[in-house]
Amino acid sequence: MINEIIFMKGYGFYVWSAFSFTLISFATLYILIKTNLVKEQNKFVTKFGLLDKEKVKVAQIQSTHREILANKISSKV
């Protein structure tokens, strides 16, 4: 029974190698994206984390900063 699943009538090598390649690729992409996200979040905190209230208001006026700040505030809640 288990041998039939592993060998798949001679196609097991191709199936399992493709499955392994896909799984390894997805895991690598996840790790890379997660690492970049943490790096960008740290950059954001160093740039905007210690702003006084006036600078926060100016940043909220700008559209890109407003979106980033909204995501930061919603992630804290």
Task: List the alpha helices (DSSP H) in the chain.
Answer: 2-7, 12-48, 53-61, 63-76
Confidence check: pLDDT of 72 > 70? no
For residue 62, give its domain range.
2-76
**Which residue in 38, 33, 44 sits closest to 67, CA to CA?**
44
pTM (two decimals)? 0.57
Give me 30's structure tokens. Answer: 């996840």
pLDDT value at residue 5: 83
Q: Looking at the 3D structure of the chain, how many domains does it have?
A: 1
Q: Between 53-61 and 63-76, two packed helices, what is the crossing angle to 10 degrees? A: 120
Segment 16-35 shows an average pLDDT of 97
For 20, phi then psi, to 5°, come to: -65, -45
pLDDT value at residue 75: 66
Residue range 28-69, pLDDT digits in tens? 999 999 999 999 989 888 887 766 778 777 777 776 666 666
